[in-house]
Amino acid sequence: MSNRLKIGLFGFGVVGQGLHDIIKGQDLNLEIIKIAIKNPDKKRSLEAGLFTTNHDELLNNPEINTIVELIDDADAAFQIVRRALISGKHVVSANKKMIASHLSELVELQEKYGASLLYEGAVCGSIPIIRNLEEYYDNELLHGISGIFNGSSNYILSKIFNENLDYHIALKQAQDLGFAETNPILDVGGYDPKFKLAIATAHAYGLFINPDKILNVGIQNLSENDINYAREKNFKIKLVPTARKISTKQIITYVLPKFVKSDDFLFNVENEYNGVTVQAAFADKQFFFGKGAGGHPTGAAVLSDIAALRYGYKYEYKKYHQQNGLSHTDNVNIEIYLRYEHEYTVEKLKIQNIVERFTRNDYKYVIGSVSLKDLLANKELLQEKNIFIAHTGRYNYTEQQIKAVAEEEAALHS
């Protein structure tokens, strides 16, 4: 028999309203007691008595046993979630930045106070990837996890490649549809998928990685020349976060635009849809597909977590507690396409093993090998408008390099 949940809801924006739409009229053994909002003057679709601007009315209410946190402010969200867990209230959140930035502390709070924090809606909208990594792949050896984690940027790229829309027109459409924010840099700059990748990596490999240690390069500098290059090669460009095992003990992570071939699952993931590829040792390659943006898809994932709480479900963080000896490294090379203006860019990034180069007055590019460490060290340079990079899908590291990285890591921790 399920436990009755009495919910305090923080936030009544796109996802909050989407969640309410889904649960309205259903007999789910739950009840929303109070909704905390920021703007008391905004016209609401529900009775005024349900709303408050006072967080304490939810957090200090002994009747409320579950907090659902759906606000944008990551710092405020952390304070809400932290107080809720300490008071023994269960929490459901969709705030990927907050979770990625504080996951280690949040796990400790859950263990100390016996409450549960679930966050399926924080990663890839309606796709149940966290629950699958936590349960289905709990004893699997994963070679890699990658995909399209951001519906806003994918919508923009789909419109560019399928309908020949200008980047700025496609972005405006995404904003009008509620897929992208007024300031879209979190989406198109690759920050949103970076936070999601950090969370997914925690469940896939048991590594809690500081998001600042993960390279993220977005699509905001995409030019007509880059688009034409991809089309000539029969590629599409997708923004792809990747966590990849490069040896028995080492993981690399990054978010980069990628040239995707027609035989790749991601090639046909369009508009606001997300797609996740999991490469496992025994289950082999599996693909998850679903809507990644919008109130109802994310609201459905949030409701799935709420429903799981009725039966006492918790993440067990099995791989994290196994202490499997895995480490995160950026001391490895990948092959990239680099469009640039000044020659010093190629030199500063230390591009090696150049296999292709093109130069004319208005367009220069090289394809060659670069270290993730050098890309991270020059992240500000990569934001300049005359620079665009994309992963070709090929890797350049050798067994000798991996061995050297392992020895370096061992020396650091000895």
Does residue 251 contact residue 327 with C-beta atoms inside 8 Å? Answer: yes
Predicted model pTM: 0.93
Average pLDDT estimate for 167-179 = 90
pLDDT of residue 78: 98
Q: Where does the pLDDT of residue 82 fall: very low under 50, low under 70, confident under 90, or very high at 90 and above?
A: very high
pLDDT of residue 180: 78
Domains of the chain: which residue ranges?
5-125+296-316, 130-293+325-412
Average pLDDT estimate for 14-27 = 85
Give the model confidence (pLDDT) of 322-339 as tens digits: 877 899 999 999 999 999
Judge: domain 130-293+325-412, CATH 3.40.50.720: no
Instruction: Report how far residue 412's alpha carbon sits from residue 404's, in angstroms, rounded to the nearest whole number.
Output: 12
Give catalytic status of residue 24 as yes or no.
no
Q: Is the pLDDT of residue 49 over 90?
A: no
Partners of 253 in the beta sheet? 243
Instruction: Report how far residue 52's alpha carbon sits from residue 34's, in angstroms, rounded to the nearest whole number.
Output: 7
Q: Under 8 Å CB-to-CB from 42, ≥6 apart: which residues?
A: none
Minimum mean pLDDT among 148-157, 190-199, 293-302, 315-324: which range? 293-302
Residue 260 CA: distances (Å) to CA of 147, 162, 369? 11, 14, 18
pLDDT of residue 413: 52
Give the model confidence (pLDDT) of 122-149 as tens digits: 999 889 999 999 998 887 788 999 999 9
Assigned CATH for 5-125+296-316: 3.40.50.720
What percent of the chain has pLDDT above 90?
Answer: 75
Q: Where does the pLDDT of residue 23 fall: very low under 50, low under 70, confident under 90, or very high at 90 and above?
A: confident
What percent of the chain has pLDDT above 70?
Answer: 95
Set 89, 97, 159, 196: catalytic member: 196
